[in-house]
Amino acid sequence: MKTYDAGALLLTLQGLAEREMRIALLREFLLLASAEQAARLLTELVRCSLVGYPPGEDGLLAFVPCMIDLRNEPQAYARIAEIYAFAKAEPVRPTPAPQLEEHAELSAAPDELAQAEHEPISAWSLDEDLRLAELSRELEVPIRLPEPPRAIEELEPQQRLVEQRIAPTPSSAPIAPRDAEALLQRWLGYLLVEPPSARKPPLRMHHFAPKWDRPLSLGERKALAVGSNRLALEKLLYDLDPSVVAKLCANPRVLEQDILLVATRRPNTPTILDELARSHWLSRYAVRHALALNPFSRSSLVLRILPLLHEQDLHAFCYATQTHPIVQDAARDLAALRDLLCRPAEGGTS
């Protein structure tokens, strides 16, 4: 019987250059490995990505399309629920923080996994069942928030009142060393939940479809999407069928500016933005940053992109108003986690 080890897979991913191979290995590991090993793998990918060690970024870039493919598979849903239940019940690291008695109800319930096979993946979301934000508040882990972009004292009196109302207040409580592991464990939950998008697409999206001289079938539009006609490619950038967008993403004649046009378009649909995230264009920083900023992207996609963003862009998400509330909470946790992991050791030389 084949054994699955998170450390061995990390070494394998570090030596792989093929993106599709990394996705296939991650898919197999998530479906067949134990919940403990899967949790350790995801935790180490987040840690390596934040500190800049391989294969953190490459592993998360493969994890995003892997989770998109697994979203609607019943057996994959049961496995993800099992990994999440393990993360709630057991610490990921071998030296856990002491558990408080009043949090005993946070352990995994047997009926939660029993209902997983009969519920759609969309039902297993933050707002309906798991309520990860409430879990974070009950854990009472002190988080240090990033400072606002400008000091309130430097603003005009009227603007100062507005900033004081909308700007979150940073916590003055010190962060204990063990809180880095607590934040990593919580971030494992952020990677697995499926909260809804910040905004829903309008009902009449067909009004935004491109206009042709004559009605074109889906097959004809797919054929044009793999062709070299520049005028047709520019029109197809506004197509509303995800399969056409997938063909466009694989066309070598499509430029990064074209993909950014699709990623930044509003209104949009989550299925079209998912196709951009499944393609090789996700490795371009501008594309994944645009996907994270689009309020029509699935919040689960934005959560999985957050560890791949630069520090200044991550801090901007702490105060973003057009994103799901869980994205703001996750950005604050991730900013505090990055500060803990990258903080120099006490007594060391700078």
Return the pLDDT at 76: 87
pTM of the model: 0.74
Sign of the torsion angle spanned by Cα atoms 55, 57, 60, 65: negative
Reduce the DSSP state of residue 206 to 3 states and report it.
helix
| Cβ burial, residue 160 (10 Å; 0-12/13-18/19+) | middle
Cα angle value 53/87/192 (rounded, 5°): 70
Sign of the torsion angle spanned by Cα atoms 156, 157, 163, 166: negative
Q: CB–CB of 189/89 below 8 Å?
A: no
Rounded to the nearest 10 degrees, the angle between the axes of helix 19-32 and helix 56-70 is 60
Return the pLDDT at 346: 53
Q: Which helix (H) or strand (E) holds 211?
A: none
Quote the mean pLDDT of the chain: 77
HSE toward the beta carbon, residue 310, CA cutoff 13 A: 7
Q: CB–CB of 145/332 below 8 Å?
A: yes
> Which token pair is 8?
């061995």
pLDDT in tens, the chain (350 residues): 578 889 999 999 988 889 999 999 999 999 999 999 999 999 999 999 998 888 889 999 999 999 999 987 877 888 898 998 887 775 544 433 333 333 333 333 334 333 433 333 333 333 433 444 444 434 333 333 334 444 434 444 444 433 333 333 333 333 444 588 888 888 888 999 888 889 998 888 888 888 888 989 999 999 999 999 999 999 999 999 999 999 999 999 999 999 999 999 999 999 999 999 999 999 999 999 999 999 999 999 999 999 999 999 999 999 888 889 999 999 999 999 998 888 765 545 54
> Which token pair is 87?
């993360």
Q: Which helix (H) or strand (E) holds 262?
A: helix 256-264
